[in-house]
Amino acid sequence: MTDHLERARQYLAGAGVDALLVLKYENRRYITGFTGSAGIGLVTEHGALLAVDFRYYEQAADQAPACEIVRGGTDLPGALAGIIGPHGLRRIGFESEFVPYAQVERLREKLQPSELVPLADVDRVRWIKDAREIAAIERAAQISDAAFAHILTWLRPGTSERDAAVEFETFMRRTGAEGLSFDLVFASGPRSALPHGRATERVLQPGDFVTLDFGPVYEGYTSDCTRTVVLGRPDDRQREVYAIVLEAQRRAIESVRTGASSRAVDGVARAVIEAAGFGDAFGHGLGHGIGLEIHEGPSLSPRMDVPLEPGMVLTIEPGVYLPGWGGVRIEDDVVVTADGCRVLTHAPKELIELPR
In 3D, which of 228, 250, 205, 258 has the Cα closest to residue 322? Answer: 228
Q: Which residue type, as a one-letter code, is found at position 7? A: R
| CA distances to 21, 288, 332, 350 from 303, in Å | 28, 12, 21, 31
| CA distances to 280, 327, 343 from 199, in Å | 25, 15, 28
| CA distances to 26, 158, 234, 354, 356 from 154, in Å | 35, 10, 19, 10, 11
Q: Are strands 225-231 and 209-214 parallel, antiparallel or unpaired?
A: antiparallel
2-126: CATH class:
alpha beta
The CATH number of domain 131-354, selected from 2.70.70.10, 3.40.50.2300, 3.30.930.10, 3.90.230.10: 3.90.230.10
Rounded Cα distance, 264 and 270, in Å? 10
Q: What is the pLDDT of residue 74?
A: 85
- Give average pLDDT by consecutive 10-residue segment, the chain, 356 residues: 89 93 97 96 94 96 95 88 82 95 94 93 96 98 98 96 98 97 98 98 98 98 98 98 98 98 98 98 98 97 97 98 98 96 98 91
Rounded Cα distance, 342 and 292, in Å? 19
Q: What is the pLDDT of residue 84?
A: 81
| CA distances to 66, 69, 93 from 23, in Å | 17, 15, 11
Q: Which residue type, as a one-letter code, is found at position 110? A: K
Rounded Cα distance, 178 and 190, in Å? 32
- The domain segmentation of the chain, as residue ranges, is 2-126, 131-354
Q: What is the pLDDT of residue 73?
A: 83
Q: What is the pLDDT of residue 88?
A: 81
Q: What is the pLDDT of residue 1?
A: 65
Rounded Cα distance, 188 and 46, in Å? 55
- Enumerate the β-bridge partners of residue 229: 210
Q: What is the pLDDT of residue 83?
A: 83
